[in-house]
Amino acid sequence: MSLISFVKEAGEKLIDLLTPGNANAEEQLKKHVESVGLGNPDITATVEGDKVVLKGEVASQEEKEKVILAAGNIEGVASVDADGLTVALSAVVTEAAQFVTVEKGETLSAISLRVYKNANLYNKIFEANKPMLKHPDKIYVGQVLRIPPKE
């Protein structure tokens, strides 16, 4: 899961995050990760132009994917380099989720139909993106979402 691309023009607006020479970028990113409900994982985040570089250790594969999405779904971020982000050795090994970008006119049901061939599994996608998603109808074009395995 090395370099993950995002829609640079979409996402939450974090003022000053991508300002060249911003000495507070790492702290702003960590506060953002915490503010979306992911707690305070043991990570560092640096900004290199329009790329966020994540390093450190997280508790699970799911947490890793959510931290990547929290960092990437910010306006002005075009990619996230997660090569330096590792999952704790004590974590239960799970299959990695795939990422999809929300397209114009899509709902979680439409995305569920596209990836699972069953629109009724939309809640699986919603649950996989909590706490960043607060309501199944509150998604936006360009947002990148976690799609867990169908199982």
Asked if residue 125 is part of any domain, the answer here is yes
Whether the pLDDT of residue 111 is over 60: the answer is yes
Whether the pLDDT of residue 38 is over 70: the answer is yes
Tokens linked to 67:
């931290």
14 and 69 housed in the same domain: yes
Query: pLDDT digits over 1-26, tens only?
Result: 578 999 998 888 876 777 777 778 77
- Work out the average pLDDT over 146-151: 88
Alpha-carbon gap, residue 84 to 52, rounded angstroms? 11
107 and 62 housed in the same domain: no
Q: What is the CATH number of the domain that holds 107?
A: 3.10.350.10
C-alpha distance from residue 146 to each of 39, 42, 86, 149 (Å)? 18, 21, 18, 10
Asked if residue 81 is part of any domain, the answer here is yes
3-state secondary structure of 112: helix
Per-residue pLDDT, 15: 67
51 and 105 housed in the same domain: no
Which residue type occupies 90? S
Split at pLDDT 50, 70, 90, the class of 39 is: confident
Q: What is the CATH number of the domain that holds 21?
A: 3.30.1340
Q: Which of 66, 87, 108 is the last residue of a domain?
A: 87
106 and 52 housed in the same domain: no
Q: Which residue has the higher pLDDT, 125 or 94?
A: 125
Provide the 8-state DSSP code for 93.
P
Count CA within 13 A, CB hemisphere, residue 57.
Answer: 5
- Low-confidence winner among 35-49, 78-92, 96-110, 121-135 (lowest mean pLDDT): 35-49
Alpha-carbon gap, residue 12 to 10, rounded angstroms? 7
7 and 74 housed in the same domain: yes
Asked if residue 92 is part of any domain, the answer here is no
Whether the pLDDT of residue 34 is over 90: the answer is no
pTM to 2 decimal places: 0.85
Do residues 105 and 139 make contact, with C-beta atoms less than 8 angstroms apart?
no
Asked if residue 12 is part of any domain, the answer here is yes
Per-residue pLDDT, 43: 87
- Work out the average pLDDT over 68-97: 88
Q: Which residue range is the domain that position 29 belongs to?
A: 3-87
Alpha-carbon gap, residue 18 to 106, rounded angstroms? 29
8 and 64 housed in the same domain: yes
Per-residue pLDDT, 123: 96
How many structural domains does the chain have? 2
Tokens linked to 114:
């596209």
76 and 130 housed in the same domain: no
Tokens linked to 66:
């959510």
- Work out the average pLDDT over 58-87: 92
Dihedral class, residue 62 (left if φ above 0, else alpha if ψ from -120 to 50, else beta)? alpha
Alpha-carbon gap, residue 52 to 148, rounded angstroms? 23
